[in-house]
């Protein structure tokens, strides 16, 4: 999996890293139980501070996407992905709300917005089925 970071983005690098790893899992580029680089190696590979990678890995671990083993290192959670919870749904709603509000301000109708969401969903799922 190739990590692509936008150093000019307003989104913090650790958030970009979290998002890309989750998308890698969703798309099938990263498999359950697959090893990820160590904090130090990934930081060196992508040219960021190791504390940035450590923060991303900590968040991924807290959410149940990865496990950290003393012997195996960092791996995609071999026991499966986190379950859908009410907390997750509330988080998604709060994150989508400003995006939807901006779309409405720009005169995007519901069908156009749903079409964009469907396209993104299909792109991620399609990458998974190609693996």
pLDDT tens digits along 33-80? 999 999 999 999 999 999 999 999 999 999 999 999 888 899 999 999
Would you say residue 127 has pLDDT above 90? no
Same domain, 61 and 95: no
Q: Which domain holds residue 117?
A: 86-130
The model carries a pTM of 0.86
Evaluate whether residue 2 is within a structural domain. no
Same domain, 123 and 100: yes
Total domains in the chain come to 2
Same domain, 20 and 51: yes
* Mean residue pLDDT across the chain: 93
Same domain, 29 and 67: yes
SS3 for the chain is CCCCCCCCCCCCHHHHHHHHHHHHHHHCCCCCCCECCCHHHHHHHHCCCHHHHHHHHHHHHHCCCEEEECCCEEEECCCCCCCCCHHHHHHHHHHHHHHHHHHHHCCCCHHHHHHHHHHHHHHHHHHHHHC
């Amino acid at each position: 999996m190739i990590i692509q970071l936008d150093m000019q983005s307003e989104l913090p690098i650790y958030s970009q890293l979290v998002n890309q790893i989750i998308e890698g899992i969703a798309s099938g580029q990263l498999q359950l139980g697959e090893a990820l680089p160590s904090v130090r190696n990934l930081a060196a590979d992508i040219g960021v501070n190791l504390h940035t990678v450590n923060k991303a890995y900590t968040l991924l671990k807290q959410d149940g996407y990865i496990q950290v083993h003393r012997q195996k290192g960092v791996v995609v959670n071999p026991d499966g992905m986190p379950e859908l919870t009410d907390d997750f749904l509330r988080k998604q709603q709060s994150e989508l709300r400003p995006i939807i509000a901006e779309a409405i301000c720009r005169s995007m109708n519901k069908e156009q917005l749903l079409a964009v969401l469907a396209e993104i969903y299909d792109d991620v799922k399609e990458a998974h089925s190609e693996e």
